Structure formats: C-alpha cells, structure tokens
C-alpha cells in the first residue's frame, strides 16, 4: 500500500536519514520526498512511502516517531481503478514538457 506522510523533525537532517535507513530495514520504499515551509518557519517533510502488507497508519506513525519526527500525519494514497491508470498516465505525459516525443503517439495507439 502507498501512504503519504507529513512530518516535522526536531533534528531534520538526522530524522530524514533515519527514515531512509529505517525504510530499507523494514522493506519500505521511499517513493518521494518534498519539503515545504510550515508554521513558525519549520519545514514540513512530505513523504510518499510504499509498504508491504500488514502496515497500518498507526504502525507507520510509530515508525516515523522512532525516526525522530515530532509531529506526524499519515494518510493512505487512494489508488485509481485499473482502467483509469493508462489514460491518467497519458494525460500526465502530455502535460510534461518532455512528453511530446513519438512514444506518446505509440502509447495512445495501444
């Protein structure tokens, strides 16, 4: 399952490093990391994590707290229906500046 996690670390450098190391130890896949300014000039790290079966929001929250997060918000990512995935991917590729090559025409034909 895929999750989106928003976290604020008291020691950001070590916290993010602990998440990356811990993710590998627990067979989690860190799909993305983005930092945004938050309240009182704190950085909010937004992570996308793919987890094996058996992971819940509570377990993921405990993992983040162990890694050094002071505050955590965990939400599951809702997957698109199987039939909608290909059209969404094509639309995303069209919107991307590099998405105007011949592969796009080939993807639409399939």
**pLDDT computed for residue 1 by the predictor:** 86
Q: Where are the domains of the chain?
A: 2-76, 80-110
**pLDDT computed for residue 26 by the predictor:** 93
Q: How far apart are CA 33 and CA 24, in angstroms?
A: 15
pLDDT digits (tens, 9 = 90+) for 93-108: 555 554 444 433 444 4
pLDDT digits (tens, 9 = 90+) for 31-78: 999 999 888 878 999 999 999 888 999 999 999 999 999 999 999 986
What fold, for 2-76?
Answer: Alpha-Beta Plaits (3.30.70)
8 A C-beta contact, residue 43 and residue 55: no
Alpha-carbon Rg for the chain in angstroms: 17
Alpha helices in the chain (DSSP H): 12-25, 57-66, 82-95, 102-109
């Amino acid at each position: 399952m895929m999750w989106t996690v928003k976290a604020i670390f008291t020691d950001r450098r070590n916290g993010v490093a602990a998440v990356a190391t811990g993710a590998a130890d627990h067979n989690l896949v860190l799909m993305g990391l983005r930092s945004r300014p938050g309240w009182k000039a704190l950085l909010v790290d937004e992570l996308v994590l793919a987890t094996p079966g058996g992971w819940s929001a509570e377990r993921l929250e405990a993992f983040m707290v162990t890694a050094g997060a002071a505050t955590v918000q965990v939400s599951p990512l809702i997957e698109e229906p199987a039939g909608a995935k290909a059209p969404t991917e094509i639309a995303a590729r069209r919107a991307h500046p590099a998405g105007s090559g011949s592969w796009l025409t080939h993807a639409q034909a399939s």
